[in-house]
Structure 1
Amino acid sequence: MYGVTIAFKEFKPHLGIVGSPWVGMANFERFFSSDSFGPLIRNTIALSVYQLLASFPMPIVLALLLNSAGGKRFKKVVQTVTYAPHFISTVVVVGMLSVYLSPQTGIINVWIKALGGHSVFFMADEGWFRSIYVWSGVWQNAGWGTIIYLAALAGIDPGLHEAAIVDGASKLRRIWHIDLPGISPTIVILLILNMGSVMSVGFEKVFLMQNALNLSTSEIITTYVYKIGLVSSQYSFSAAMGLFNSVINFVLLIVVNRIAKKLGQSSLW
């Protein structure tokens, strides 16, 4: 971890990490006072929160529906169909988005024009960037995320459901009073872990979807660090931004874990 010290230095490759001169908090002050600081924080938080609100509940809902569904064959087919997108690479997913959302030949715009509307250049529209990013991610990962919750649901005592059925409880009642409380520790732990990475939106997909026309909403801390650090070779400045991002994630993890513990829920420690 000694390499993190370059965030507090003016790193010069020919001098190395140890030999580079100390500059204290100068790199952090430069980041906080830059014109990019506000938009970067705003875009990163907006995309992270949107992704958390949209993607976190979906595996829970899907797991509860699969657990309550009858017919093993049906459940296997649904699981296979929903798990499959997880194994598609990010590059291929972005390529699919570019094809399906193309303003000339994309199937979405073909439908829009067939209904009398005008084609939309979705991939270059800053207003559509976050929704395309988040909901394509939900499609790709929701099925895979159900595995943990289905495993937790399998650990619930079947006798509880049998007793509830004898008492006349409907499926919805059993889901609400038996299944959800049974998997609540798993939900809380995964929520804490997700909050601990809220500032670390995936770099690869954002970078592949990014272009000059949607830059006002697609430029986030991780893509900016790449451009400043590797493209512009400002290693100390980019290290300071990365360290700032990691510290925020660490603080959020500690705070959310403590809140969960005080509320009597499961916690990481």
Structure 2
Amino acid sequence: MLARVLKYRWQYVMILPAVVLLFLFNYIPMAGIQIAFKDFAIGSSIWSSHWIGWDNFAFIHDEQFWKVVKNTLYISVLKFLFGFPLPIMLALMINELKHAGFKRFVQSVSYLPHFFSWIVVAYILQSFLTLDGGLVNDLIVKVGGEPVFFLGTNEWFRPMIVSSGLWKEAGWNTILYLAAITTIDPQLYEAAKVEGAGKLAQIRHITLPGILPTISIVLILSIPSLIQVGMDQIYPMMNPANQEVADVLDTYVLRNGLQQGYFGMATAVGLVSSVISLILVLSTNTMSKKINGEGLW
């Protein structure tokens, strides 16, 4: 063991900062989980608060909580159904571009929205979709239609969230797939051409099987997001007019925990969400290994 550590000592030194950060910001804060079982309030410490058992989990009987769960699953499933395959298809299309300069341009343009914060994206959406002076509504009026209250209509909120998420992250998520495609042996494509295989046949029988391990890993890591749709995206776009469909688990925890001071209940909701995420990861990893032999561990 010591000989192995000495042999790879510089590799261990390189990963040491990441391990320290992981320990400080992911493992030490887990001590706060006990708030879910305590009567905690501002001014008292975690350790001195009284144990109250499962009282903070009474939200399970709250009708509003189940509405929030429904909204969360609805949005997350839509984001997953559209957001998971789109980067794969985009990577396949970018890979087929022959002109190196144009290929780099397309990659750069598709990556760029990832670096915008969700606050900036929310401002862009509001500028385009607002009733008064919004570009989209101005075009609708000019073609003889009636302006649409996109930002305050329940029917438009979910499509707006899903489409903005695709625009922002699809290009960035192609990086892993493009990197995986570069590891495929070019001789396989040459042999396929000799056998008369067209582009679609090459993609189906060479490219997709070649990146399947990467797809499996990304799938496993994506499954926990089914109950974590992202407060940073939802909260800037939420208002009283669309709150009925916009309120998700993340905003529910924020509203009850920070704004109303129910820290124990908010921690309990977060704990339940984390446990469900863990179960989803373990289940998806097991199924992936049984189906194609690939998994995270």
Q: TM-score normalised to the size of structure 2?
A: 0.88
Which residue is equivalent to 1:5?
34
Q: Distance between the aligned counterparts of 2:79 and 2:63, measured in 1?
A: 25
For 2:175, the equivalent position in structure 1 comes to 147
The aligned counterpart of 2:23 is none
Query: Which 10-residue stretch deviates more, 101-110 or 121-130?
Result: 101-110
Q: 2:41–2:261: 8 Å Cα contact kept in structure 1? A: no
Residue 265 of structure 1 deviates from its aligned partner by: 3.4
User: Is 2:100 aligned against 1:72?
Assistant: yes
Could you tell me how far apart the structure 2 residues matched to 1:242 and 1:4 are?
9
CA apart distance, 1:233? 1.1
One of 223, 230, 233 as aligned partner of 1:195 = 223
Give the structure 2 partner of residue 185 of structure 1: 213
Find the aligned partners of 2:79 and 2:271 in 1 and give their Cα distance.
Answer: 22
2:45 aligns to what?
16
Q: State the Cα distance separating 1:173 from its structure 2 match.
A: 0.6
Give 1:48 shift.
Answer: 0.7
Between the aligned partners of 2:149 and 2:248, the Cα distance in structure 1 is 22
Aligned identity (percent) is 43
Q: Hey, what does 1:39 align to over in structure 2?
A: 67
CA offset at residue 2 of structure 1? Answer: 2.0
1:84 aligns with 2:112: yes
**For 1:1-269, what aligned pairs fall within 5 Å after superposition?**
1-28=30-57, 30-269=58-297
Q: In structure 2, how many angstroms separate the alpha carbons of the residues matched to 1:249 and 1:148? A: 23
* Partners of 2:106 and 2:92 in 1: CA distance: 13
Structure 1 unaligned spans of 5+: none
Instruction: Give the Cα–Cα distance (whole angstroms) in 2 for the partners of residues 264 and 107 of structure 1.
Output: 48
1:104–1:119 Cα contact (<8 Å) kept? no
**Aligned length, in residue pairs:** 268
Q: Distance in 2 between matches of 1:191 and 1:132?
A: 24
The CA distance in 1 between the partners of 2:190 and 2:266, in whole Å, is 58
Superposed CA RMSD in Å reads: 1.1
My pick for the range that moved more, 14-23 or 166-175, is 14-23
Q: Is the 8 A contact 2:253 2:266 kept in 1?
A: yes
Q: Per-residue deviation at 1:219?
A: 0.2
| 1:151 partner amino acid | A
In the TM superposition, structure 1's runs of 4+ consecutive aligned residues that sit over 4 Å from their partners are: none
Q: Distance in 2 between matches of 1:50 and 1:250?
A: 21
The offset of 1:14, in angstroms, is 3.8
SS of the aligned residue for 1:252 comes to helix
Deviation larger for 243-252 or 8-17: 8-17
Residue 226 of structure 2 aligns to a residue in which SS?
Answer: coil
Per the TM alignment, residue 102 of structure 1 is displaced from its structure 2 partner at its CA by 1.3
